Amino acid sequence: MKKEIILRNLLEEIKRNNLSVFVGAGLSKGAGYPDWKELASEIGEELGLDVKKETDLIAIVQYAYNNKKKNRNFINELIRNKFLDDSKISKDMDILSRLPIRYYWTTNYDLLIERTFKKINKVVDVKIVHDDLSNNIYNRDVVLYKIHGDARNPNDAVLTRDDYEEFSEKRGFFIDKLIGELVSSTFLFIGYSFSDPNFERILSKIRIKLSNNSRTHYYFVKSISRKECTSDEDFDYQKIKQELQIQDLSYYNLEPIIVDEFSEISNFLIELEYRLKINNVFISGSAFEYGAQWDINKAKTFTQSLSERLVQNGNKIISGYGIGIGGFVIEGVSLAIDPTKQVVSDHFELHPFPQKIEEDEDSQEIWRGHREKIIGMSNFAIFVFGNKIVNGKVKEANGVYNEFEIADKLGLTIIPIASTSLAAQGIMKIVSENLDKYSYLEEYIEILCNELDIDKIINIIIEIINKEA
């Protein structure tokens, strides 16, 4: 299947909230954690075994366990020391974390996935043991199933052959949950080799039950290159073996995304992220008053009409519900959408800011995290008005400037409507002094700074968006 078709299929599944991600050791290896071969090699040294001569890596761990008279302290210490390093980062995981994907599965012991989501202030509900399945974290953004356990409690992790053989009994609910999700959702596997015998049994069960009616899932696989092989004969052999493995996985409706280099996986995910948010527009602004040239009625008409036109233009609006602006945005969207024929979430997402918290450093950190999360979902950022009341006086809104800094850092197309004054005007001043960076605005600056006609302003905004999309 061509990558273009796969990209479109995955994009549609994400939009339907129907894509899950399965993360294997390959992703963590790219971040600097050991894979199974490296782990088994270190364990095998204790036994005098050369992992290069062995094909059954799980058996090596079992031998070490047996050799210690069924004491796994040595293995547990190794797991904790190898997988609890919190300095590792993964570009691919960073990209994945920004996508609106709710369910993740992994066989990895490390905490890379949890830490990556925490960086962007997403709440992760981690499921490690059976009891976790019946207890949910409120307001969670992501659910992570760690079906082989966790480095923080390696004694319960799936490591030895005994553990694999007892997997169905000890983690049966996880198997049931995974089968259900594989049946009803599309999976994207990244860094996973499909060498786990338990997972193969799961796929077999689905194939037998559903026959030709199972969902298509996707996985990344790197093509064999000559430089990685010891000889031409070895190269030919490895190519044949990989082709047979791909053919074998196709019987389980697993479709390969073939890459020549691992860096192409990042490029694929970046393209997926870009396409997902290419038409998304973040509207930033707040207003306690609307200035001498704008009153509340004109501001309402402008914001409503802008929101309505954006939706009609095929854009999706992301809003944090700024005071004096957010309500008008919602009203504009409602004018453009027929909820009996359209899915509202395809055109609009509302992410209200946390309320009733003190304005201290902690609250600023909470608000910044919230801003980063919602602005990161967009490709365009429109800035209107931007003022607040401080000690009875109207001041520029720091929050709107914060949103500009975040949007700018994330590479969004910036569109400040300076004629609405205050923060929007201040942002336009910054933009005007750096036109090399914002060259797409050069021909529109005079209009955006001075125009008060609502239709003319909106026409210019739509023109900029359509040019830059």
d(CA 44, CA 161): 15
d(CA 119, CA 94): 9
User: How many residues are recorded in the chain?
Assistant: 469
Is residue 146 within 8 A of residue 128, CB to CB? The reply is: yes
Distances (CA, A) of 314 to 267, 317, 347, 414: 26, 10, 8, 19
The residue annotated as part of the active site, out of 148, 217, 351, 370, is: 148
Token representation of residue 77: 């210490």
Q: Is 130 a catalytic residue?
A: no
Residue 144 φ then ψ, to 5°: -115, 120
Helices (H), 99-250: 112-119, 130-133, 161-165, 167-170, 172-184, 197-210, 232-250
Please report the DSSP string for 163-191 in residue order: HHHTHHHHSHHHHHHHHHHHHHSEEEEES
219: left (phi over 0), alpha (psi -120 to 50) or beta: beta
Is residue 307 within 8 A of residue 462, CB to CB? The reply is: no
Chain centroid to CA 303? 30
d(CA 323, CA 159): 53
Is residue 389 within 8 A of residue 428, CB to CB? The reply is: no
> Which distant-in-sequence residues (6+ apart) come within 8 Å of 370 by Cβ?
121, 320, 351, 353, 354
Please report the DSSP string for 197-210 in residue order: HHHHHHHHHHHHHH
Distances (CA, A) of 218 to 95, 222, 268: 17, 13, 13
Nearest to 185 by CA among 258, 104, 114, 108: 104
Nearest to 309 by CA among 447, 462, 441: 462
The SS3 of residue 335 is: helix
Q: How many CA atoms lie within 13 A of 8 on its CB side?
A: 4
Indicate the residue type of 321: Y
Chain centroid to CA 132? 23
Active-site residue numbers?
Answer: 148
